[in-house]
Amino acid sequence: MGLMEISAKDLRRRTVRRFLEDLGSKSGVENIETAIKHMYAPDLKIWIGYTCRSRGFLVFQRSFKAQQFVSSFHSNQFMGSACKDEREEVIQAWYMDDSNEDQRLPHHREPKEFVSLDKLAELGVLSWRLDADNYETDEGLKKIREARGYSYMDFCDICPEKLPNYEEKIKSFFEEHLHTDEEIRYCVAGSGYFDVRDAKDGWIRVWVKKGGMIVLPAGIYHRFTLDTDNYIKAMRLFVGDPIWTPFNRPHDHLPARKEYLEAFVEKGDAVDAAA
Ligand SMILES: [Fe+2]
């Protein structure tokens, strides 16, 4: 295998293996994977930042800081819970199958291929678990809004009884599109699926339930559908006056799309090239 053919994953595994060997460790493959997951990835993220061009680097810095903010927020929440990521009780993600069955079904692959919230963060998708029963007084939500400048807030109820032209709207939400700003949704009741494209254009289905809050970065292709429970009440947040305009795919020429690719997709190419 030539140097240019080494994948980012192989590079990480080789480097961590070498590190463990230098320490004289007899650790097996499992410990290498653990080391990659818990120790090496943050360094890799910093290193990737330096390989980006100036504008992309700035976008990346913002996203990296955002992820640091998510991490610190949840590390405070998880003290005393054996580091269990409680977000996973209200937000789960998995790769979708290619079936044309009802969009409201889970569409798991066979076998199931779950996606970690860390992997979502690498795509720029941020997530939190919040207290949906007390959103009006929740200090956690307040902290996020202040840190990220989310000055605007409203709610949308999506269900057949409350949404005019329900069937038509549900179809339009499911059209693949992007926005020129973040899409921020906090599920305070019900549940729904936010599908996002990964770096290789595969669909990842993100199931958000009561208490789950996600941020889709500007420029990511995505879509939304209810699940078979047919109900979600979501808080919508925004920086300043809201702009909800969807740009259906393809809209690759938009600056927001180019900046997204520079910050979250081409960084993977940079790792492969460096290998
Ligand atoms: Fe959207």
Indicate the helix (H) or strand (E) that contains 95.
strand 91-95
58 domain-assigned: no
Domain coverage including residue 115: 85-251
d(CA 193, ligand 1 centre) in Å:
12
Q: Using CA atoms, how far apart are residues 124 and 120, in angstroms rounded to an integer?
A: 7
Q: Which residues contact residue 24 at a Cβ distance below 8 angstroms, ignoring those fewer than 6 apart?
A: none
The predicted pLDDT at position 70 comes to: 74
Q: Say whether both 27 and 118 belong to one domain.
A: no
274 domain-assigned: no
d(CA 185, ligand 1 centre) in Å:
10
173 domain-assigned: yes
CB 96 within 8 A of CB 113: no
The predicted pLDDT at position 10 comes to: 56
Q: Say whether both 137 and 211 belong to one domain.
A: yes
Q: Give the CATH number for residue 134.
A: 2.60.120.10
Q: Using CA atoms, how far apart are residues 156 and 232, in angstroms rounded to an integer?
A: 8
pLDDT tens series, the chain, 275 aa: 334 445 555 554 554 455 445 444 444 444 545 444 433 333 333 222 222 333 444 455 556 667 667 766 765 454 444 567 999 999 999 999 999 999 999 999 999 999 999 999 999 999 999 999 999 999 999 999 999 999 999 999 999 998 889 988 888 899 999 999 999 999 999 999 999 999 999 999 999 999 999 999 999 999 999 999 999 999 999 999 999 999 999 999 999 999 999 999 997 666 555 55
Number of domains, the chain: 2
d(CA 57, ligand 1 centre) in Å:
25
209 domain-assigned: yes
pTM of the model: 0.75
Q: Say whether both 185 and 95 belong to one domain.
A: yes
Q: Say whether both 28 and 135 belong to one domain.
A: no
Q: Say whether both 29 and 131 belong to one domain.
A: no
CB 130 within 8 A of CB 227: no
d(CA 272, ligand 1 centre) in Å:
30
Q: Say whether both 228 and 100 belong to one domain.
A: yes
**Of 233, 244, 119, 120, which Cα lies nearest the Cα of 177?**
244
The predicted pLDDT at position 79 comes to: 43
d(CA 177, ligand 1 centre) in Å:
6
d(CA 135, ligand 1 centre) in Å:
23
Q: Say whether both 26 and 147 belong to one domain.
A: no
The predicted pLDDT at position 39 comes to: 38
72 domain-assigned: no
d(CA 61, ligand 1 centre) in Å:
24
The predicted pLDDT at position 42 comes to: 34
d(CA 186, ligand 1 centre) in Å:
14
Q: Say whether both 19 and 155 belong to one domain.
A: no
Q: Say whether both 168 and 242 belong to one domain.
A: yes
pLDDT in tens, 85-104: 999 999 999 999 999 999 99
d(CA 205, ligand 1 centre) in Å:
14
Q: Say whether both 23 and 136 belong to one domain.
A: no
d(CA 222, ligand 1 centre) in Å:
6
Q: Say whether both 101 and 17 belong to one domain.
A: no
